[in-house]
Amino acid sequence: MADTMQFDLVSPERSLASAQVSEVHIPGAEGDMTVLADHAPLITTLRPGVLKIVSPEGTDEYLVTGGFAQISSEGTSVLAERALPKSEVTKDILDVLAKDADDALEKATPESIDALGKQVSDVAALVAEMGLTA
C-alpha cells in the first residue's frame, strides 16, 4: 500500500503498536501535527495528550505523557515516556498525572516555572479530552 507507512509506539513498559497506518496525529510540544506517508523527516518532542493512529482497520487512540516522535522515510516511531491505550485510561490514572504535574509546579525553580506551568495546562487539557474528571 503506497498510502501507508510503518508506525511503532513504545514506552519503557511495553510496545503498544506496530502497524501500517495512513495517518498519525501527534501531540507535539511545539504544536499538534498530522503525519502522512512520505512526510518530511523530522524529530519532535511530545507534550501530554492523545496520539491517534488511523489504519485500514480503524482508528486507535493512546494517552502519552511526553517523549519523542521520529519521522523518516521508513515511517514514524514514537518513544513515549508513558503511554496507554485510551481504553485503559481511568480517572485514577488521570488524577495521578494531574497531581504529579501540580506537585512539580509547586517545587519549580524560577528557570522551570514556565515549562511546568505549560505541563499542568497540557495535563488539564488531556483530562478534558479524555472525558474524565481529575
For 2-65, what is the HEC assignment?
CCCEEEEEECCCCEEEEEEECEEEECECCCCEEEECCCCCEEEEECCEEEEEEECCEEEEEEEC
Q: What integer pLDDT is reported at residue 133 of this predicted model?
A: 56
Q: Are residues 15 and 81 in the same domain?
A: yes
Q: How high is the mean pLDDT of the chain?
A: 88
Containing structural domain, residue 21: 5-86
Tens of pLDDT along 12-23?
999 999 999 999
Is pLDDT above 60 for 134? no
Q: Are residues 33 and 75 in the same domain?
A: yes
**Choice between 27 and 116, residue whose per-residue pLDDT is larger:** 27
Q: Are residues 96 and 75 in the same domain?
A: no
Q: Are residues 95 and 56 in the same domain?
A: no
Q: Are residues 80 and 98 in the same domain?
A: no
- The confidence band for 2, taking pLDDT boundaries of 50, 70 and 90, is low
Question: What is the pTM assigned to this prediction?
Answer: 0.79
Say which CATH number the domain at 22 has.
2.60.15.10
Q: In 10 A of CB 66, how many CB atoms?
A: 18
C-alpha cell at position 17: 503498536
